[in-house]
Amino acid sequence: MDQKATNPDQGEAPENHQNMESLLAAEGFGNIDSPVQGETRQGTIASIGISQVLVSIGTKSEGIITGKEFEAIPQDVLASLAVGQVIDVYVINPEDQNGNVVLSINRARDEASWKEAEEKKTSGVGFDSEIIGYNKGGLIVPLGGLRGFVPSSQISLTRRAGMTGDNPDQRWSKMVGEPITVRVIEVDRERRRLILSERAASSETRESVKDRILEELKEGDVRTGRITSLADFGAFVNINGADGLVHLSEISWDRINKPDEVLKVGEEVNVKIIAIDREKKRIGLSIRQLLNDPWSKQVEHIQVGQLVQGKITKLAKFGAFAKLDGEIEGLIHISEIAEKRIEHPKEVLKEGDDVTLRVLKIDAENHRIGLSLRKVDSPSYAEMDWQTLSDQLDETIKDDIKEE
């Protein structure tokens, strides 16, 4: 009987090779795409257990997410998983000691996020996100599954100008939850370093910020700012990105020689807008106008037309200064010293004289009191003097009755 001989040197017959492929396919070994450690691939969730997730990734057996990798899955992500869902997984080990393909969801998400970060850095395009935290140096902003860092120097001028407080909690905590637009400026996978910049994503400049703030401000507004520098003539205070000047005379009601006697750089202060020059881009500020004016309290018992006792403290060509109760000082203009014309107050007065004076004017805004010596006996004030005397007698009688 004739038989066909098979020559081993000529290889398998074509039909035998086809039969082997069919056999392998039937056993599930056909067209196997073996997983490679470190790759990310798509898979379909086959089952979800209390401690593991099985994912079909085209191999004979499902890949497994278990142990630390399972525990590391965020609860919201775990709750969103469903059988049949297609997900990205990262191959940690193509075959462990039990023959399983070990997978990770978190590492796949990280990988996608790092890839996205690198693409955004290359493109230079900003993206919208949200401030989720902070540390002593700046803000924490997420990109995918990564936590990006925005150093304080990379925060926008507007946001930095609004910072208040002396520690990170005071400066940053109220920003958590706010929207923010940033650009990726540094990506370092090995150090897991992702640096973002709000300033790079913004087109604003110091001048544009100041122009905008100048448009928003109006005289009489009260704002909170931070002292940026001190000079002999005053203090510069930054209000939301625009610097204004508090002149030396507007710092305190007390007499001071230099701003650093009561202020320091970095201090947070409340200021009142008292002048705006939009053409020259200047803002005039006042601290003292928001403080209680001790002078007003000192003169609250004094009224125009009243007779007061004073002591002459200084003579000048234009008049004489007299100290009233406490530290209050008023001016007797030369025209109010005598009925006759005099060339100098020293013709009538000398320093240290105790005199009775008439109050002619109280200028609370400029802290000035106008006094008169020549109008002490003026008939035009007779009725007022009589009423004052009458009120004093009534008070004396009341006091005597109380004592009895």
**Residue 190: burial class (beta carbons within 10 Å; 0-12, 13-18, 19+):** exposed
* Two tokens, residue 389: 């005397």
Q: Which of 19, 40, 20 is nearest to 108 (CA)?
A: 40
Please check whether residue 187 is in contact with residue 118, taking contact to mean a CB–CB distance below 8 angstroms: yes
Q: What is the pLDDT along the chain (404 residues), one digit of tens a residue?
A: 444 444 444 444 444 444 444 544 444 444 556 888 888 888 999 999 999 999 998 776 688 998 898 888 888 888 999 999 999 899 999 888 888 899 988 888 888 899 999 999 998 888 999 999 999 889 999 998 899 999 988 888 778 766 777 788 888 888 999 999 999 999 998 899 999 999 888 766 666 677 777 888 889 999 888 888 899 999 999 887 788 899 999 998 888 889 999 999 888 899 999 998 888 888 999 999 898 887 777 888 888 888 889 999 999 999 999 998 767 889 999 999 998 999 999 999 999 999 999 999 998 877 889 999 988 887 777 677 666 666 555 555 545 545 55
Residue with tokens 């750089």: 265
Q: Which domains does the chain have, with CATH numbers?
A: 40-110 (2.40.50.140), 124-197 (2.40.50.140), 221-290 (2.40.50.140), 295-384 (2.40.50.140)
